[in-house]
């Protein structure tokens, strides 16, 4: 039974086989890579493997989606090809999956205002690079590590259906959480030996420690990147079509994986995402809005009244935790006032890294480009508070604490734009359904209506995707 076949339904036996298959593939690939060393893999074998995968995915977007998700979560970012810039393998697989889906089917993916806005942001940051002194290497990651995953998610999810994509993400990250836990318990870090002649290998392959113990990073190169990615999957598990007991196992696996990273920001992001998912159990938009507003107010008041305790938790107890918290505080106090209106900040950055996506892109491109980047996130937050958010939008909303405390690194930055692409596809599906039958929503019971909005599949595989879930 193939991975794709097992993921079509939500019966316990098929799902268990699907999870086992994914885990088995990950374990075999990891062991082989760790033994032989990826850097020693010959070019012809890689090309042959890519050709076989392309043929297998031809006209089968579901297979393409599963293959792409595995390349994102089971292969380190330093496994890459150098073209005009470093292109990670998961971006190459994404392009291959899109090509196999488009050429193997007759479906058309319309270009919408969302893609137009994305292109506008790319153009603005390019102008900042050409005329404002911004770093060309930083800009190059936008079309490669943001644009390719965003468009691939739009195209593949349009073909597979959002419900199927939700189930795939839930299963894959449940497996990743389990493997991250095993990595911690056994002190087993298989990707350290995946040698590759790139700067990213030198930067990301080492094992991190905190409080005298190793931290899990799995294939993500950094524990916070893994923790943030696992937190990103929580709403997808909550909205998946699997049975309740299996969802509990998935939540436990992801939670254990986040614990294995020893990342406080990831814990906050996971808690926020879980709280929003709990509030969204209600089918009333009014109840959702009131619940989210009350949660924010309670959190604010609790933080204010117990500020010393909160600050103590944020700073941590170990020397590494306190240094990390003090370092981030220093970054904001030192560099936030230096952001210029347009272009790179005219000061020398005297630190090894800017541990904040917001601060990093502000210093690189200026306030104009930064605000343009933050506008979609602001709209996502507004839709979440208004009770209208899809699964992907809830996932992005939950990442806000991480955006302030970690840069866009390794696969984490690509996964953010994968989820952004799914969020756009969910909005398009909702609007398409409303335009095709404006009166249909009124005839659907409230509980089913909410689920349809966030999970209704689109594209030529829509009917089979829905049928497979029943």
DSSP secondary structure letter of residue 356: -
DSSP 416-466: HHHHHHHHHHHHHHHHHHHHH-TTHHHHS-HHHHHHHHHH---STTHHHHH
pLDDT at 446 over 60: no
pLDDT at 232 over 70: yes
Average pLDDT on 133-150 reads: 93
Q: What are phi and psi of 308, to 5 degrees?
A: -60, -40
Between the CA of residue 116 and those of 119, 129, 139, 369, 397, what are the distances in Å? Answer: 5, 20, 18, 15, 22
Average pLDDT on 404-420 reads: 93
Question: Residue 104 — pLDDT band, cuts 50, 70, 90?
Answer: low
Positive or negative, the CA dihedral 59, 61, 63, 69 is: positive
Between the CA of residue 441 and those of 19, 153, 160, 338, 384, what are the distances in Å? Answer: 35, 26, 23, 50, 20
Residue 131's nearest CA partner among 358, 413, 368 is: 368
Residue 317: per-residue pLDDT: 58
Question: Residue 350 — pLDDT band, cuts 50, 70, 90?
Answer: low
pLDDT at 177 over 80: yes
Q: For 55-139, list the strands marked E by DSSP.
A: 80-82, 86-88
- Please state whether the predicted TM-score (pTM) of the whole model is above 0.85: no
Q: What are phi and psi of 377, to 5 degrees?
A: -65, -35
Positive or negative, the CA dihedral 169, 243, 279, 311 is: negative
In angstroms, what is the C-alpha Rg of the chain? 22
Question: Residue 91 — pLDDT band, cuts 50, 70, 90?
Answer: very high
Q: Each residue of 78-88: pLDDT tens digit? A: 988 887 788 99
Measure the CA–CA gap between 466 and 203, rounded to whole angstroms: 44
Q: Are 141 and 413 in contact (CB under 8 A)?
A: yes
Locate 179 and state its tokens: 């493997």
Q: For 94-200, list the strands marked E by DSSP.
A: none
Measure the CA–CA gap between 58 and 41, rounded to whole angstroms: 25
pLDDT at 321 over 70: no
Residue 59: per-residue pLDDT: 75
Residue 450's nearest CA partner among 263, 246, 231, 283 is: 283
Locate 80 and state its tokens: 């890459």
Domain ranges of the chain: 3-469
SS3 80: strand
* Angle ∠(11,15,17) on CA atoms, nearest 5: 125
Return the percentage of the chain with pLDDT > 70, whole number. 72
Q: What are phi and psi of 143, to 5 degrees?
A: -70, -30
Residue 451: per-residue pLDDT: 42
Bridge-partner residues for 82, per DSSP?
Answer: 86
Locate 411 and state its tokens: 């696969």
Between the CA of residue 26 and those of 76, 78, 82, 225, 229, what are the distances in Å? Answer: 12, 17, 25, 19, 17
Residue 299: per-residue pLDDT: 67
Locate 7 and state its tokens: 């993921």
Between the CA of residue 289 and those of 236, 270, 283, 294, 382, what are the distances in Å? Answer: 20, 20, 11, 8, 10
The b/e string for 52-63 (b: 16+ C-beta within 10 A; e otherwise) is ebbeebeebbbb
Q: Which residue has the tokens 């938790």?
A: 313
Q: Each residue of 32-56: pLDDT tens digit? A: 444 344 444 444 555 555 666 666 7
């Amino acid at each position: 039974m193939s991975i794709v076949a097992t993921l079509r339904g939500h019966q316990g036996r098929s799902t268990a086989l699907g999870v086992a298959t994914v885990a088995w593939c990950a374990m075999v690939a990891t062991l082989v890579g760790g033994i032989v060393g990826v850097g020693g893999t010959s070019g012809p074998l890689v090309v042959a493997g890519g050709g076989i995968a392309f043929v297998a995915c031809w006209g089968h977007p579901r297979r393409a989606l599963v293959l792409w998700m595995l390349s994102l979560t089971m292969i380190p970012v330093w496994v890459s090809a150098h073209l005009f810039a470093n292109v990670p393998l998961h971006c190459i697989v994404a392009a291959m999956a899109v090509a196999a889906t488009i050429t193997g089917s007759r479906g058309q993916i319309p270009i919408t205002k969302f893609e137009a806005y994305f292109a506008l942001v790319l153009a603005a940051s390019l102008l900042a690079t050409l005329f404002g002194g911004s770093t060309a290497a930083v800009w190059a990651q936008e079309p490669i590590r943001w644009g390719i995953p965003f468009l691939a998610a739009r195209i593949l999810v349009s073909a597979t259906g959002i419900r199927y994509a939700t189930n795939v993400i839930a299963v894959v990250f449940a497996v990743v959480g389990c493997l991250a836990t095993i990595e911690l318990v056994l002190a087993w870090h298989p990707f350290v030996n995946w040698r590759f002649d790139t700067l990213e290998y030198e930067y990301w392959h080492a094992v991190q420690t905190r409080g005298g113990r190793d931290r899990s990073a799995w294939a993500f190169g950094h524990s916070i990147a893994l923790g943030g990615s696992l937190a990103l999957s929580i709403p997808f598990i909550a909205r998946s079509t699997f049975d309740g007991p299996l969802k509990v196992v998935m939540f436990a696996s992801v939670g254990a994986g986040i614990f294995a990273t020893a990342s406080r920001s990831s814990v906050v992001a996971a808690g926020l995402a879980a709280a929003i998912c709990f509030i969204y159990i209600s089918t009333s938009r009014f109840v959702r809005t009131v619940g989210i507003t009350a949660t924010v107010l309670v959190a604010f008041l609790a933080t204010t009244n117990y500020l010393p305790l909160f600050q103590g938790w944020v700073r941590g107890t170990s020397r590494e935790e306190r240094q990390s918290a003090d370092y981030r505080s220093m970054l904001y106090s030192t560099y936030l006032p230096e952001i210029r209106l347009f272009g790179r900040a005219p000061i020398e950055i005297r630190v090894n890294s800017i541990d904040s996506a917001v601060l990093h892109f502000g210093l690189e491109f200026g306030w104009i480009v930064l605000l343009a980047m933050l506008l979609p996130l602001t709209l996502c937050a507004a839709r979440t508070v208004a009770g209208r958010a899809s699964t992907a939008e809830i996932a992005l909303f939950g990442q806000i604490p991480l955006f302030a405390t970690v840069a866009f690194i390794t696969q984490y930055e690509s996964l953010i734009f994968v989820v952004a692409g799914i969020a756009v596809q969910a909005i398009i599906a909702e609007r398409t359904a409303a335009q095709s039958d404006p009166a249909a929503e009124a005839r659907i019971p409230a509980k089913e209506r909410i689920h349809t909005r966030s999970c209704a599949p689109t594209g030529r595989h829509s009917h089979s995707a829905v049928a497979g879930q029943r």
